[in-house]
Amino acid sequence: MNNKQWQYTGATSQAWADGGIAVFRTEGVVTPKVSGLVLSSCQQAMRDWGAVGLVAEYTGADLQIDANALLGSALKVVASDGALALPTALLVKPDDLGMWRTYAWLMARSGIVRGVFTQHEEALRWARKQAAILSADRCRTQASAR
Burial class (CB in 10 A: 0-12, 13-18, 19+), 12: middle
What is the pLDDT, as a whole number, of residue 78?
93
Fold designation for 4-145? Transcription Regulator spoIIAA (3.30.750)
Q: Please, what are the averages of pLDDT over each run of 10 residues along the chain (146 residues)?
A: 89 91 96 97 90 95 97 94 90 98 97 96 96 73 65
| Four-point Cα dihedral 14, 112, 131, 43, nearest 10 | -30
Cβ-contact 123, 55 below 8 angstroms: yes
What is the pLDDT, as a whole number, of residue 92?
98
Radius of gyration of the chain (CA): 15
What is the pLDDT, as a whole number, of residue 67?
98
Domains of the chain: which residue ranges? 4-145
What is the pLDDT, as a whole number, of residue 134?
78
State the pTM of this model. 0.91
CA 124 to chain centre: 12
